[in-house]
Chain A
Amino acid sequence: MSAPSQAAAPQPVAEETPLLEVTDLAVEFRTAEGTVRAVDGLSYRVEAGRTLAIVGESGSGKSVSSLAVMGLLPPTARVTRGSARLAGTDLLALRPRQHRAYCGERVAMVFQDALAALNPVHTVGYQLTEALRARRGLSRADARARAIELLDLVKVPNARARVKEYPHQFSGGMRQRVMIASALAMDPEVLIADEPTTALDVTVQAQVLQLLAEIQAERRMGLVLITHDLGVVAGVADDVTVMYAGRAVEQAPVGPLYAAPAHPYTRALLRSIPSTAGADRGTRRRLPVIPGRPPSPAARPSGCPFHPRCDVAQDLCRTEVPPLTGPAPARLSACHFAADVLANRPPETGGTHE
């Protein structure tokens, strides 16, 4: 898929006002063991016509942060800090009723498991246009026409006949397309896709991603793509935010990030993508993995949360939390030795880093 303007955009933080700007977001869960901080000071911005990929392991807070934006957090969770401005309005400060008016209309979400996210007792056509009929008062006939239009938009073949069918009559890929169509029903400006392709097999994944990218380019939507798969990111994203333990550890445009990661975690993730390149050279190498396990949100390590698994960890990392700073233009990395990692040289121990 063509990723528009990916190379021609050295500045991810363009002067343009962002569509969606999340600033210093923190979300806490109340559990039996006390409060657990799932997201801790996350900031990102999405501009019109651009795709931001949020990458991270399970439990890194990537889904929770988007649920917070949508106002879908479970009752045990609470936003403790930060804002999420959609074209200037802070969604997190709105009352639930006002927040709901934004959901669907201006910011919509695509869920991971389309079978579970479609109601088994309603026809696909009904689900696609339920919101339109409820909000805009569309007549039955208009709604049906719109449903067919939406199915055509997401390239479901034979849309006219299929609006009358039920979700279980659709294949996995087609269901995900329906899910996307229902999120697009009210022309939102920002679309949050929470692992939209995890439940699909690889060829269907590619088709769905391509579809998302096409629609996004056509409508100049802001797209937030949440995923744990860096391979998915490369093809469609413009910017990448890598999350670890509830924080953003690296933020950069996708090209530079792949070429030269500025955080040891990103570097380790990129190394652990299997590649067929080495196989024919006969130099069989064991696929590098990141040792250890992601930290439990209830027991985060001191200092840099990644230090127990980091291959360049120094004494400093065990005590000091690294701030998110820019080792190069348009790059942000939460590593004490970001400049060294970026240059791919061993960190200067006891150096004069800020």
Chain B
Amino acid sequence: MSDAAASAPPAARTAASSPVAEAWRTLRRRPDTVIAAVVLLFFAVMAAFPRLFTSTSPRTCPIREARTAPQGWGGDHPLGTDALGCDVLATLVHGVRPSLLLAVVVVGISLLIGVTLGLLAGYYLGWVDYLVSRAVEVFLVVPLLLAALLVLSLFKGVDLGAGTFNVILLPAVVLILFGWMPYARYVRASTLEAKNLDYVTAARSLGASDVRIMTRHVLPNAIGTVTALLPTSVAGVISAEAVLSFLGIGVRPPATSWGIQIEQGSQWVLGGAPHILLAPLACLVATVLALVVLGDALRDALDPRLAA
């Protein structure tokens, strides 16, 4: 989202009627899109520079201050403290990074795998397509949560260290393993459609190699539907991470994430401290909603059939 805002300065060039420029112009006309982009930008900055938002460490947890109610701006604990006395705002701010990083890593790698396999399957058909399509089906019929529970429980005892990447490694692997199929299916379908078009034949008549045809001619025309899918997928991964953490098999304490916070907060909703749950929940909902809105707008902008 932030890179969409950075690219294509709006009517700076008269010849800016490339598909990208068109999409950008459509996006700009919708206020909900702009708001969604701002929300996402906010959280992205938060992930990159948590110190901007809080000077409190999420690891200083004086137990006697446990479950302090929110004090508003100016107080020691603007959003109060959780069951262990940790500052909710600090935890929240420091929990963005693993959540977003996980989402970006998972979606990025699944996209890479899915697009490659889908492209190969759609272009070559035959046994390549057979293998890819069967693999897609096998992975699709396994319920994600069941598989994630199984795999993550198996590796529960393995210690991978405490870096940001190490913390998200296991959930990332599982979510990628069960997340690449939609991309493969979409790309395969659009490849089938695009590869028989005249301009692909024309490229071949000029002697273009298979790889060139796939990457330069088929893919740019087949990627549209998938691009629109991305924000929604990021939202999906963020919520999936929350669910896994809630179940105690995602990102593990002492590392923080929104999922962990929600899990801990849920025990105190009726115990007089609903803010422990509500703060991370609100952030999660805001992020996911913003991504869905953006995905919707992106789909409208990129899909010529809906634009008409």
Contacts and interface: CB of A to CB of B under 8 A. Distances in A.
A118 B201 CA distance: 10
Interface string A156-187: 00000100111001000000000100110110
Interface stretch (A35-43, A96-104, A211-219, A281-289): A96-104
Nearest to B223: A121
Contacts of A117: 198-199, 201-202
B209 interface: yes
Contacts of B17: 166, 169
Contacts of A164: 15
Interface string B190-219: 000000011101111111110010001100
A239 B19 CA distance: 44
Interface stretch (A127-135, A139-147, A268-276, A298-306): A127-135
Interface of B (DSSP majority class): helix
Contacts of A109: 202, 205
B15 A121 contact: no
A116 B197 contact: yes
A40 B99 CA distance: 65
A135 B206 CA distance: 10
Interface in A67-112: 70, 72, 100-105, 108-109, 111-112
A72 B18 CA distance: 30
B220 interface: yes
B206 A119 contact: no
A102 B206 CA distance: 9
A134 B198 contact: no
Contacts of B205: 70, 72, 103-104, 108-109, 111, 183
A116 B202 CA distance: 9
A28 interface: no
A111 B206 CA distance: 12
Contacts of A111: 198, 201-202, 205
A103 B15 contact: no
A226 B300 CA distance: 41
Interface in B204-247: 204-209, 212, 216-217, 220-221
A72 B201 contact: yes
Interface in B171-203: 197-199, 201-203
Nearest to B219: A121
A165 B220 contact: no
Given A111-B198, A121-B19, A166-B18, A104 B206 contact: yes
Most buried by A among B197, B216, B221: B216
B199 A116 contact: yes
A134 B221 contact: no
Contacts of A72: 201, 204-205
A323 interface: no
A48 B156 CA distance: 75
A7 to B, nearest CB: 34
A231 interface: no
A137 interface: no
Given A121-B19, A121-B221, A166-B17, A131 B206 contact: yes
A115 B5 CA distance: 31
B24 to A, nearest CB: 15
A192 to B, nearest CB: 9
A194 B203 CA distance: 15
Contacts of A161: 15
A34 to B, nearest CB: 22
Given A134-B212, A165-B15, A166-B18, A118 B207 contact: no
A121 B202 CA distance: 15
A108 B19 contact: no
Given A117-B202, A119-B221, A134 B197 contact: no
A113 interface: yes
A103 B204 contact: yes
Interface in B55-105: none
Nearest to B212: A134
A176 to B, nearest CB: 12
B207 A121 contact: no
A186 B216 CA distance: 19
A134 B211 CA distance: 12
A112 B201 CA distance: 12
Given A103-B205, A104-B205, A183-B206, 4 more contacts: A72-B201, A104-B206, A122-B220, A134-B208
10 contacts: A72-B201, A100-B208, A102-B207, A105-B207, A108-B206, A112-B198, A117-B202, A121-B19, A122-B220, A182-B206
Interface of A: 70, 72, 100-105, 108-109, 111-113, 116-123, 130-131, 134-135, 161, 164-166, 169, 179, 182-183, 185-186
Name the 9 nearest CB pairs between A and B, nearest first.
A104-B206, A116-B198, A104-B207, A117-B198, A103-B207, A117-B202, A109-B205, A121-B220, A119-B199
